[in-house]
Structure 1
Amino acid sequence: MSQNILTVSNLSKSYFLNNSELKVLDSVSFTIKESESIAITGPSGSGKSTLMGLCAGLDNPDTGEIHLCGQNISKMNEDQRASLRLSHSSFIFQSFHLMPTLTALENVMVPLELQGNANKETRELTLELLDQVGLKDRHHHFPSQLSGGEQQRVAIARAFINRPKILFADEPTGNLDTHTANNIQSLLFELNQKLSTSLIIVTHDNELAAKADRTLKMKAGKIAE
């Protein structure tokens, strides 16, 4: 039986702007199981990206708890959360965030370098993963020599290189044309299944959301029924 990889309980978050409180999340609760994929949808300002950031441990909630990979990250300090992220989670963003002075191979290996695990064996694994995303023959190219779709594939390979238990993707196809976006979507879910990585996608794209196992629709800081 699948275990919960993420449990969110009564999560609330507010920001203060010009002495006024803006409640972004209001008592949000849900769970995600191992290997499950979910899409978080909703209009701009509904709390989607804030929710993902809290779940990933990038910020602290005002109230509520988040259990990620069996650990209560709500009670962790920033160093502890950073260590958990490096070990168990990965990210894909709308902007590719590749390092311009590194080749595709070197960009994918960055998480391994941070973990102190970069060696000849992991280099071969990196080449295998680049092959899976269709870029093995482009591994020596720099980001400026790659198309937008190729750069996003490098970002996907980088996200999966440390075999994360959970992957957070924020509008991962937002900067891509329709054909390239469809290819990237297929690749995401293919790797999600192959590597048993839980997948959380924040998106405005209804077609992308429909490919996930479940959809959480946000409205005014709450999960709409």
Structure 2
Amino acid sequence: MCALPSGKRTGRPRSAAADEAILDATRAALAELGWGRLTLGDVAARAGVAKTTLYRRWPGKNELVVDAVAALFEEQLDVPDRGGLQADIQGVVLRFAELISRPETKTALMAVVAEATLDEALRRRIRAAIVDRQKRLVLIGRERAQARGELPPDDGSAPARDDLIFDVIAGAVVHRVMVSSEPVDQEWAERLARLLVCGLSGLA
């Protein structure tokens, strides 16, 4: 028998349309059914695909839900250019809060974070699919502010600062929305942005 050419894949190629339909169906099912009643069979039926199509792409519900949330962030979360660093931060805070306030997003995040406390592989998937990808927003905002002259050029410590800034913003918004159940409005977002830019002295 002849060997397959190097780099060739066997089987059908993945369909981007099927992937999108599955992820859309997952978010819709989460909003309607919640985590406990969500099944891969229900998602497949809503997406109009065979169960085997879904199982070839995602081994289980945890992975599917993480990717459904990650796709939503990739599509809809960005750093609007508002002409200044503080205003840019305020804009992304409001957009992030709006996304995680959606029933399907809140349900998914709470569920996968709870599951991840006992599943190292799931924690790695969350970091790779959501956390690490969204850290690009901090990089975009920093580079934009440096181009405006609002921040100094890189001195080698930028990656560590970017991580800290991401943790502060994401942690504050997630806690506000999902733990405290308090609104993230214009005033709160402005105060958080001012804290990051000016420090505690800027809140007076």
TM-score (norm 1): 0.27
TM-score (norm 2): 0.29
Question: Which structure would you say has the larger RCO, counting Cα contacts within 8 Å and 6 or more residues apart?
Answer: 1
Indicate the structure with greater strand content: 1
